[in-house]
Amino acid sequence: MPRYFGFIISSVFAVGVMMVANAPAQASLLGDNSHIQLKHVMASVQSKPGSFTSQIRPLTPILTVPDGDDVAFVCQRSPRASEAILYYFSKYPAPVDHKRRIDLDALKKQKGKIAGFVNKALGRAVVSEVYVIEGGKSMGRGVMSRLPFAQTQGCGRVMEEYEQRMKQLLGDDKK
């Protein structure tokens, strides 16, 4: 029975991913609490638990934007957000556990503080939380089930939609 349960769960997840992939992009742009996955950054991480020395490892930041109207604003300024995250980790290297992997539970406790650095760099309070994933890969199968959100979007798709909306608005004004 447990073997079939895993198969059923993975099948339902696959069908859900296909439904999300076929959905129009604008529907996910307008929602509140949007999650934006930035490109990975090479950030400072403790070399061992409690150590003052650090190593450089790839980390993938995911920003939570509470207001759907601010998503394009954050994407336009994503280099500033990445730089703020790098600055945060240069001051406070990411903690590691006893197996020298990044301690995700400790980073979840710091998500508001990291968001404060990002908001200061952006000039407005538009990001509520910043989650960090170890590694430089985009979201996939295993990591997604452990995170508090199910779908992220990259800024490329958001910016394309933003440009289309602006063209539509400018086109409607000319008529």
Predicted confidence (pLDDT) per residue in 7-21, tens digit: 444 444 444 434 433
| Confidence (pLDDT) at 22 | 38
Under the banding of pLDDT at 50, 70 and 90, the label for residue 156 is confident
| Confidence (pLDDT) at 54 | 83
- One-letter identity of residue 171: G
Please choose, from the candidates 134, 118, 130, the residue with its C-alpha nearest in 3D space to the C-alpha of residue 43: 134
Under the banding of pLDDT at 50, 70 and 90, the label for residue 84 is very high
Which residues are CB-contacts of 7 (< 8 A; sequence separation ≥ 6)? Answer: none
What whole-number distance in Å separates Cα of residue 94 and Cα of residue 175? Answer: 54
pLDDT at 3 over 60: no
How many separate domains does the chain show? 1
pLDDT at 123 over 80: yes
pLDDT at 108 over 80: yes
| Confidence (pLDDT) at 136 | 65
> Which of 8-17, 32-41, 44-53, 75-84: highest mean pLDDT?
75-84
Under the banding of pLDDT at 50, 70 and 90, the label for residue 85 is very high
What whole-number distance in Å separates Cα of residue 141 and Cα of residue 9? Answer: 12
- Segment 72-100 mean pLDDT: 91
Q: Could you identify the residue written with the tokens 């063209």? A: 167
| Confidence (pLDDT) at 31 | 60
Domain that holds residue 120: 2-174
| Confidence (pLDDT) at 154 | 67
What whole-number distance in Å separates Cα of residue 171 and Cα of residue 160? Answer: 16
